[in-house]
Amino acid sequence: MEVTCPLCNRIQMDVLIKDVNEFDKSYDVFYCGNCMVGITMPIPSPNESSSLYSSGTYRSASGKRFVVPVEAGVYLARQLRKKRIQKYKEQGRILDIGCGRGVFLNVMKNTGWTVAGTEYDLITAESIAKNYDIHVVTGNPGEWGFPPGSFDVVTMNHVLEHMSDPESAIRECAGLLEKGGLLVVATPNITSLQSSLGKHLWFHLDIPYHLYHFSEEGLSTLVEKYNFHILKVRRFDLEYCPFGWLQTLLNLSGIRKNLFYNFLKNLNSREMLISNTSKWDLLLTITLLPLFFPISLVLSLYESFLLKKGGTIEIYATKT
């Protein structure tokens, strides 16, 4: 089968991961050696994407995604992200592209930043605006209506891999930032050890939500193409990397895919999930968790700091 890279139009692409079965469909990940990026094939149609992201499937209607202790962890992680940004910019105007439930923007707003966000889904956008009194626009890059140079910082936290045109998103970031402005972009790393080992069972593969699968080289090249100068690359993230290993190891053990993660999610269907789960899967999860937890922490530190191929990539870059 001939597949063309949507980023560089090169025809020759290799199959990296085969037969990822989700929602009664089968997907493959092709890898472009020129862009150093993986691409989900077939690419979901705009209609399929809309139904994937509608409120209640990707997020619950209340906007809460997880059980209480995890929510506390999410809040702490947003505080730490704020601190990392403030090493480069003490204060100013920030845009969070794909701002999710708005937790991060609310943290920034409470520190005196002027904040704005974008979201794909209108209902999610309206709920953020209502909950936190934050300006949120919808649509794709180019449709947001912000004048050029409107921001000092633009962030995209695990969003770029969801976009149908990641290149136009990075170009838009360059346009929206002031000269010397900061771009912070984070995605999972398709060339990480956890991805190479987990293959179609890797937790952060997240197909069909993830359309693109970046390597550090691929993401760096894309950012530099639009005249950004890379200041720093973070390869370890406490929120993403150890859990990526933990859920991948559980998946590799033959337990139903992402069962533990689905238990942590605060969705209405959790009771149904428990009644639909085999006793064997429950027992195996409970038995393996205490064993896999320390192993996951060690493995994620090893791949991030020694192999320099962590489960996630976070790039800090300045507009030149």
Does position 5 interact with Zn ion (CB under 5 A)? The reply is yes
Work out how close the CB of 147 gets to Zn ion at its nearest, in angstroms, rounded to a whole number: 32
Stretch that binds Zn ion, among 33-41, 97-105, 208-216, 253-261 (CB under 5 A): 33-41
Burial class (CB in 10 A: 0-12, 13-18, 19+), 293: middle
Work out how close the CB of 60 gets to Zn ion at its nearest, in angstroms, rounded to a whole number: 37
Stretch that binds Zn ion, among 35-43, 46-54, 175-183, 300-308 (CB under 5 A): 35-43
Give the Cα separation of 168 and 142 in Å (integer).
8
Q: How many residues bind Zn ion (CB under 5 A)?
A: 7
Three-state helix/strand/coil letters over 254-295: CCCCCHHHHHHECCCCHHHHHHHCCHHHHHHHHHHHHHHHHH
Helices (H) and strands (E) in the chain, counts: 11, 11
Q: Site for Zn ion (CB under 5 A): which residue of 16, 20, 29, 35?
A: 35
Work out how close the CB of 36 gets to Zn ion at its nearest, in angstroms, rounded to a whole number: 8
Give the Cα separation of 250 and 296 in Å (integer).
11
Q: Site for Zn ion (CB under 5 A): which residue of 20, 32, 154, 185?
A: 32
Work out how close the CB of 5 gets to Zn ion at its nearest, in angstroms, rounded to a whole number: 3
Return the structure tokens found at 105: 């923007």
Q: Is 34 or 49 the residue whose CB approaches Zn ion more closely? A: 34
Does position 7 interact with Zn ion (CB under 5 A)? The reply is yes
Does position 34 interact with Zn ion (CB under 5 A)? The reply is yes
**Strand pairing report for 212-214 and 93-97:** unpaired
214 phi-psi bin (left φ>0, alpha ψ -120 to 50, beta other)? beta
Does position 39 interact with Zn ion (CB under 5 A)? The reply is no
End-to-end distance of the chain based on CA atoms, in angstroms? 41
Work out how close the CB of 30 gets to Zn ion at its nearest, in angstroms, rounded to a whole number: 10
Burial class (CB in 10 A: 0-12, 13-18, 19+), 153: buried
Q: Is 118 or 220 the residue whose CB approaches Zn ion more closely? A: 220
Give the Cα separation of 104 and 96 in Å (integer).
8
Does position 8 interact with Zn ion (CB under 5 A)? The reply is yes
Q: Is 34 or 221 the residue whose CB approaches Zn ion more closely? A: 34
Three-state helix/strand/coil letters over 291-307: HHHHHHHHHHHHHHHHC
Stretch that binds Zn ion, among 2-10, 76-84, 220-228, 229-237 (CB under 5 A): 2-10
Work out how close the CB of 221 gets to Zn ion at its nearest, in angstroms, rounded to a whole number: 10
Stretch that binds Zn ion, among 26-34, 152-160, 194-202, 312-320 (CB under 5 A): 26-34
Does position 156 interact with Zn ion (CB under 5 A)? The reply is no
Question: Peptide bond before 188: cis, by omega within 30 degrees of 0?
Answer: no
Work out how close the CB of 35 gets to Zn ion at its nearest, in angstroms, rounded to a whole number: 3
Classify 105 as helix, strand or coil. helix
**Bridge-partner residues for 119, per DSSP?**
138
Positions that interact with Zn ion (CB under 5 A) = 5, 7-8, 10, 32, 34-35
